[in-house]
Homo-oligomer: A and B are copies of this chain.
Amino acid sequence: MPLLHSPERARSRKKNLAHRIVDAVRREIVRQELLPGSKISEPMLAEAYGVSRAPVREALLQLEREGLVVFDAVGRTRIVEMTPEDFEDLFELRMTLEPAAVEHVTNRFDTSLRSRLEANIHAMAGAASLAEVSWLDVEFHTILMEASNRRRLIATWRAIHSQLLLWLSTMHQAHAESAKVRDITLAAHRRLARIMAGGDAKQARAEAVKHLSDWRPVIAGMAGARPRKGASR
């Protein structure tokens, strides 16, 4: 998983305490080791990671930017609680961003991209857990978005893709139809990759829309999902 989250973040990229903390906390949130709605304070994180509050503060700002934590009116931080409306909202934004990206990508499809997609597909074919499938699914779309070469499109994707990971994680806990999910996703990715390789941008866009639409019924069926009641520290 070298692609996701590695490229330029805000401040000076590498050895920065804030980055390390962002990565660590993001992982905990996405894995739901930190529960949605739970409180998360600067002193708490500072101690947990053995640093001062300054880098923690910066990390929280970044996590807010990614939609993983929210600040209340008095500045306190909590892990975001995604409601069914959020899922829909997130999905709708994807529906506007990704088809556009796919169109661009199709026009600049090259062997480097092809092999990256194939590597992802291959990995997913061998994926054991649902978590792994989700990760690779998001990575597939990340590869596409980054390949679009549209800076602001990419930046926008970076601002939401962690939420997608969180959502998938949440969903799997609800109904884990494991194997089927992988095969459906895999087939869709293969189809999309093939069409993009073909070079027909309009057709590729249509396929992207279709692939995204696969989620419609899942999201609709999720209308009854209750936001888990917030656990605190």
| Cα A160 to Cα B12 with chains together (Å) | 22
- Given contacts A12-B75, A96-B96, is CB(A89)–CB(B58) below 8 Å? no
A92 within 8 A of B: yes
What number of copies of this chain does the assembly contain? 2
CA distance A2 to B97 in the complex (A): 29
Contacts A96-B97, A156-B159, A159-B156; A89 near B12 (Cβ below 8 A):
no
A153 CB within 8 Å of chain B? yes
Give the interface residue-count category, chain A. Answer: 20 to 34
Q: How far is the CA of A159 from the CA of B10 in the complex (A)?
A: 14
Q: Which residues of B contact A86 (CB under 8 A)?
A: 151
In the complex, A64 has a CB within 8 A of chain B: yes
B71–A12 touching, CB < 8 Å: yes
CB-nearest residue of chain B relative to A151? B89
Q: A96-B96, A97-B96, A100-B96 are in contact. Are A71 and B10 (CB under 8 A)?
A: yes
Residue numbers in B under 8 Å from A67 (CB-CB): 152, 155
| Mask: chain A, 135-159; 1 = CB below 8 Å from B; 0 = not | 0000000000000001111011001
Chain B residues with Cβ below 8 Å from A159 are: 155-156, 159
Complex CA–CA separation, A54 to B73 (angstroms)? 20
CB neighbours (8 Å) of A71 from chain B are 10-12
Other A-B contacts than A11-B61, A12-B71, A96-B100, 17 sampled, CB-CB below 8 A, are A10-B61, A10-B65, A11-B75, A12-B72, A12-B74, A13-B73, A54-B54, A57-B58, A67-B152, A89-B153, A90-B152, A92-B152, A93-B152, A93-B153, A93-B156, A96-B96, A156-B159
